[in-house]
Chain A
Amino acid sequence: MFESFNYWISILIMMVGLFGVITRGNLVKKMISLAIFQVSVLLFYISVGTVERGAPPIRSTKLLPPDRLKELKESGVIKGEELLKADHIMQFNDVGQIYANPLPHVLMLTAIVVGVAVIAVGLAIIVRIKEEYGTIEEDEILKLDQEFSKMERENS
């Protein structure tokens, strides 16, 4: 259960979003639910990229995860103040440093951009809908449309 905690949460967020998309009649709420739905994928990808006890994938000698640091200290590979010496730490990086997989992070940067674009286009369309129909409630729009098509049928 807990080893796949992230995935459960990501599915949960996804379902919350999907629920909102289906049930909300207000178009803006629908749009925000859609955003929540999309965001769940970010968590999913980031979880895929995690490596147990892996450091953030930044090529820097200064970043060791705290528990890893503690472990190295306890095992006597480094002692106290020696930590500050860069060449020592370089050695550890060569030997035993594990990084999280950076690729999913990069992919998700793209996905965030795409998500923002989708929300922007969606909200822009909602603004236009408000201008044309005077409402952003789905049922009212539906009623207006039905009346309109009925009128159209009678006219022709």
Chain B
Amino acid sequence: MILANLPALQVVIPLLAAPICAFMPTKKVAWLLTLVVSLLCLVISLNLAYQVFYGSPISYHMGGWKPPFGIEYRVDTLNSFVVVIVSGVAAIVSIYSFSSIDNEIEKSKQPYFFATFLLCLAGLLGMCMTNDAFNIYVFLEISSLATYALIAMGKDRRALIASFEYLVLGTIGATFFLIGVGLLYMMTGTLNISDLSLRVASSPFMLQMTPIKAALAFIVVGLALKIAMFPLHLWLANAYTNAPSFISAFLSATATKVSIYVLIRIIFSVFGYEFAFGEMNIAAVFVTLSIVAIFAGSLVAIYQHNIKRMLAYSSIAQVGYIMLGLSLANQLGNSSAIIHLFNHAAAKATLFMAIGCIVYRVGTARINGFNGLARKMPITVGAFVIAGFSLIGVPFTGGFISKWFLLNALADAHMWPIFAAVLISSLLALVYIWRVVEVLCFKDCHPSNNKVKEAPIMMIIPMVFMAFITVFFGIYTEPVIDFAMRISEYLFSL
């Protein structure tokens, strides 16, 4: 009974837990509920991933209504992978939240904070699970609305402006997505993605129709806003900088990833990659923009004094790598994008958690306050260095695997200039990570930092665990690579 309903429970549990959480009397109870719910989500997602990996895609009919009339939840290798990332990060980060929100959120607001977090989680999971285009929009808005509220809860008043900016841009993006879905519906009369793909492919004339092309354009632009692809990335830096550190860690690892997943789903399942990347030539646009994103993001990151902002810009660059792998439109490139989804999520979550620990003790995310902290907070700095290595792509970390795959794919496609550009951009990542590591490890301790202690244990454990994941999957690479290969095979067979 429960096993058969797992796809629905994955979304319903956090959704129902959110209002309950809001009425919890104290932080501890609310936190415990959040932790239990996110761990449950992780268990469910792992179970689903296992079922799908060794079996066939699961189709779940909401309320017993058969698709295409009812809403269908469909779990295949691709979205089960993304769901594992999202719920895994949520579970680990929610342990971290216990201590980290003490300084950042008022006591009375903490249960609401956790409730909003659960809503955001439910939205993100729903976006992954559902196989209904309009449903994706609804979950997109659920997660976005929760995100706006979460960002606005940042300590600094600039968080409010960041949240407002994100609200305006996010709404425009979501509305564009909605228009795209409307155009698709206009031409095909269905919203179910599997059904859409059948009907779009049913006649060769369908893809020649202007509304279909316009739909692709609207959806890609709308999602690019959510992904924070290069020219549409403005909201991301401010949002991640000013959000509470727990939220920065969670969002940087999941929010953009889920949007990328939706983009992959729409391009591969609905339009077919030959049409989108070939005929409409989105690939050329994506490759150009991602190269610009990689360089602009990394270069701007080098000059940031606020390290959270630096990591935010680095996120823009890393999204560039993912989009680059994706737009090569071959299996290897696609695998590299999917592997990097995972590795970037692990590395960025660790980095934001480490900065969160430092902010917790030192009170600032500005680099001038970081002098010689390695002696005071060795574990935090250690985790930062390991995850930083993963961003650069040092061997034995996850980042190396994804870069290796990306470079292989580029070599396969004979795109040598871009091959060189990716190599050079890794050096830029080295510069901006090393700049921080140097200040942390090799400068004398600032007198004001003499009394700084290691962060609380509840923040250390999840951070170290996440750093461990970065290294573990950099050495024991089979599971992620196997999964990614299977996903690519599946996507290219659609």
Contacts and interface: CB of A to CB of B under 8 A. Distances in A.
Interface stretch (B22-30, B158-166, B335-343): B158-166
Contacts of B138: 110, 114
A132 B160 contact: yes
Interface stretch (B175-183, B245-253, B401-409, B410-418): B175-183
B168 A48 contact: no
Contact of A118 (B141, B366, B369): B141
Interface stretch (B144-152, B266-274, B485-493): B144-152
Contacts of B179: 41, 44
Contacts of B172: 18, 21, 34, 37
A128 B152 contact: yes
A150 interface: no
A30 interface: yes
Interface in A102-156: 103-104, 107, 110-111, 114, 117-118, 121-122, 125-126, 128-129, 132-133, 141, 145, 148, 152-153, 156
Contacts, number: 74
User: For A104, A121, A132, A152, which residue has the most chain B Cβ atoms within 10 angstroms?
Assistant: A121
Given A41-B178, A145-B158, A152-B366, A21 B148 contact: no
Given A152-B366, A153-B305, A156-B364, A145 B152 contact: no
Interface string B162-197: 011001100110010011001001100000000000
A111 B164 contact: no
Contacts of A118: 141, 145, 167, 171
Interface residues of A, number: 33
A125 B178 CA distance: 24
Contacts of A129: 157, 160-161, 164
Contact of B161 (A18, A34, A37, A145): A145
A121 B185 contact: no
A31 to B, nearest CB: 8
B368 interface: yes
A38 B174 CA distance: 10
B134 interface: yes
Contacts of B152: 125, 128
Given A121-B145, A145-B158, A45 B171 contact: no
Nearest to B138: A110
Interface in B40-65: none
A129 B160 CA distance: 6
A21 B164 contact: no
Nearest to B176: A41
Interface of A: 18, 21, 27, 30, 34, 37-38, 41, 44-45, 48, 103-104, 107, 110-111, 114, 117-118, 121-122, 125-126, 128-129, 132-133, 141, 145, 148, 152-153, 156
20 contacts: A21-B172, A30-B168, A34-B168, A34-B172, A37-B172, A44-B179, A48-B186, A111-B137, A118-B171, A121-B167, A122-B148, A122-B164, A122-B167, A122-B168, A125-B160, A126-B164, A128-B152, A129-B160, A156-B364, A156-B368
Given A111-B178, A122-B148, 19 more contacts: A21-B168, A34-B168, A41-B179, A44-B182, A104-B185, A114-B141, A117-B141, A117-B145, A118-B145, A121-B145, A121-B148, A122-B167, A122-B168, A125-B152, A125-B167, A126-B164, A145-B161, A148-B158, A156-B368
